[in-house]
Amino acid sequence: MPRGGLWRNPDFLRLWTGQAISQMGSAVSAQALPLAAVLSLGASPLQMGLLNGAGAAAILLFGLFAGAWVDRFRRRPILIFADLGRAAVFGAIPLAAAFHRLSMNYLYLAAASGGLLSVFFDSGYQAYVPALVRRENILEANAKLALTVSIADITGTGAAGVLVQWLTAPMAILSDAASFLCSAFSVWRIQTREPPPKIDGPRHMQREIAEGLREAWHNPTLRILTRRTATAAFFLGFIGCLYFVFAIRELHLSPALLGGIIAIGGVSNLFGALISERLVARFGIARTLLGSALAAGAAALLLPLAHGPVPACAATLALAQTLDMAWPIYHINELTLRQTVTPDRLLGRVNSAMHLLFRGIMPAGALAGGILAESIGMRPTLLAGALGFLLSSLWLVKLTRIHPTKPA
């Protein structure tokens, strides 16, 4: 494992390059796939709902199995497999469109298989980082990886519109397939020899999954992070399902204005990724986690409190998007803490369990929020969701006693 900063670690730079390229392609695909359904196939609202749910359903059904597989084998081949698989899945879309064989059924399949392969890749590279960098560089590595995610969110979304306009939506997805090939090549060039996974006794999938879940619950630090993730995801579902309809119908913001406000959040996310390491150096990882969670909760509270003329409402939502810098700060440090306290042989399973927890509970919160909004209205429901999301930060108070105030 190379000594010194990450800029002198060629294998981490190869992983970072591959992740950056694939994130950019995924940002394009996230916009181009639904546009292909609408523009090329004339999808109905029900079909769009099924398309949006296909990826989440695959993750819910098979996400824990992906984590167990990540822990069974070396992570580098899994990353390459996931990249090549996604390249094949999304590369077939423009090919099918060129021969007039594209259908909604194939888009459902692409969304589901692409989502599942992304779980393999995300769980795999998050578990792979500690094998490539020294322990003291893990936070820096996660900050750099989160930085590229923020950049991809900003530039990829805009690039998707341009590519769809120039090339049509199915052909725009070809850039995503190409990005996964580039990512696979970059990861393939990594030379650090990864130690083989430790195997205790015969392999049994259900037993391995249960072992990862037990670790997430019995480890004191992971148990706190698990409780916070579950609680936050539920109440965040209230906000996620009502944000757009509330902003447009209640606050009377135009779609164009709302899009500009959301773009502010992308820029603030980039800033949050840049300052994360400095905050940890000053306050320590536990207090940084707690502070960023409270800031995100404060941002959520601004939405139901917005009122008055359109400019005032827009300014309130813009302030909330500015506070969105708390999201990458929290994510970077939560992931770093998770990687630090989890045994390497369990990292894939713990990562996939956290992914599944968030993605599985948030839709339940969205359903509960929608039902509640029908009874008491959108603004009270958003207020309840924001308060619940803010109070979920209290789980993290105990971390300040488990971990030192400042890093060693």
How many domains does the chain fold into?
2
Q: How many CB atoms lie within 10 A of CB 98?
A: 11
Q: Which two tokens stand for residue 314?
A: 């827009």
pLDDT at 69: 76
Domain CATH number, residue 217: 1.20.1250.20
- Same structural domain for residues 163 and 258? no
Q: Which two tokens stand for residue 99?
A: 């021969």
**Residues 6 or more apart whose Cβ sits within 8 Å of residue 204:** none
Closest CA to 299 of 276, 275, 314, 317: 317
Q: Name the one residue in this structure whose structure tokens are 């207020």.
A: 383
**Does a structural domain hold residue 202?**
no
pLDDT at 125: 79
pLDDT at 304: 93
pLDDT at 141: 84
pLDDT digits (tens, 9 = 90+) for 301-351: 999 999 989 999 999 999 999 998 998 899 888 888 888 888 877 777 787
**Residues 6 or more apart whose Cβ sits within 8 Å of residue 218:** none
Q: Which two tokens stand for residue 88?
A: 């094949």
pLDDT at 167: 72
Closest CA to 402 of 286, 292, 293, 291: 286
- Same structural domain for residues 264 and 392? yes
Q: How many CB atoms lie within 10 A of CB 59?
A: 22
Query: If you average pLDDT over residues 31-35, what whole number do you get?
Result: 74
CA distance 100 to 206: 43
Tell me: pLDDT of 19 over 80. Answer: yes
In b/e form, how buried is each residue of 216-243, taking b as 16+ CB within 10 angstroms?
Answer: beebebbebbbbbbbbbbbbbbbbbbbb
- Same structural domain for residues 236 and 137? no
**Does a structural domain hold residue 214?**
yes
**Does a structural domain hold residue 204?**
no
Mean per-residue pLDDT of the chain: 82
pLDDT at 48: 66
- Same structural domain for residues 76 and 123? yes
- Same structural domain for residues 125 and 263? no
Question: Which structural domain, as residue segments, surrounds residue 100?
Answer: 6-189
- Same structural domain for residues 250 and 167? no
- Same structural domain for residues 163 and 222? no
> CB–CB of 75/367 below 8 Å?
no
CA distance 15 to 289: 26
In b/e form, how buried is each residue of 135-161, taking b as 16+ CB within 10 angstroms?
Answer: eebbbbbbbbbbbbbbbbbbebbebbe
- When pLDDT is cut at 50, 70 and 90, the band that residue 408 belongs to is very low
- Same structural domain for residues 256 and 175? no
pLDDT at 208: 72
Tell me: pLDDT of 407 over 60. Answer: no
CA distance 73 to 124: 10
Give the type of residue at 269.
N
**Does a structural domain hold residue 197?**
no
Give 311-338 as a 3 state SS string: HHHHHHHHHHHHHHHHHHHHHHHHHHHH
- When pLDDT is cut at 50, 70 and 90, the band that residue 18 belongs to is confident
Q: Is the dihedral of CA 324, 230, 290, 128 positive or negative?
A: negative
pLDDT at 170: 78
- Same structural domain for residues 259 and 180? no
For the residues of 6-46, what is the DSSP string, one character each? GGG-HHHHHHHHHHHHHHHHHHHHHHHHHHIIIIIH---HH
pLDDT at 406: 52
- Same structural domain for residues 250 and 341? yes
pLDDT at 369: 83
The mean-pLDDT minimum among 10-19, 24-33, 157-166, 344-353 falls in 157-166
- Same structural domain for residues 249 and 394? yes
User: What are the phi and psi torsion angles at 219 (to 5°)?
Assistant: -70, 125
Closest CA to 356 of 205, 218, 214, 229: 229
pLDDT digits (tens, 9 = 90+) for 150-182: 777 666 666 666 676 677 777 878 877 888 999
Q: Is the dihedral of CA 163, 122, 222, 203 positive or negative?
A: positive
CA distance 344 to 199: 12
Give the type of residue at 176.
D
CA distance 220 to 216: 9
pLDDT at 404: 61
pLDDT digits (tens, 9 = 90+) for 173-206: 887 788 899 989 999 999 888 777 766 655 666 7
pLDDT at 383: 95
> CB–CB of 253/314 below 8 Å?
yes
Q: How many CB atoms lie within 10 A of CB 291?
A: 18
pLDDT digits (tens, 9 = 90+) for 255-281: 677 767 877 887 888 888 888 888 988
**Does a structural domain hold residue 321?**
yes
Q: Which two tokens stand for residue 324?
A: 């969105």
Tell me: pLDDT of 36 over 50. Answer: yes
Q: Name the one residue in this structure whose structure tokens are 């409190």.
A: 305
**Does a structural domain hold residue 203?**
no
**Does a structural domain hold residue 196?**
no
Last-in-domain residue among 156, 189, 222: 189
- Same structural domain for residues 221 and 311? yes
pLDDT digits (tens, 9 = 90+) for 75-132: 889 899 999 999 999 999 988 888 888 888 888 898 888 888 888 888 787 778 888 8
**Does a structural domain hold residue 243?**
yes
Last-in-domain residue among 135, 156, 189: 189
pLDDT at 52: 66
> CB–CB of 222/338 below 8 Å?
yes
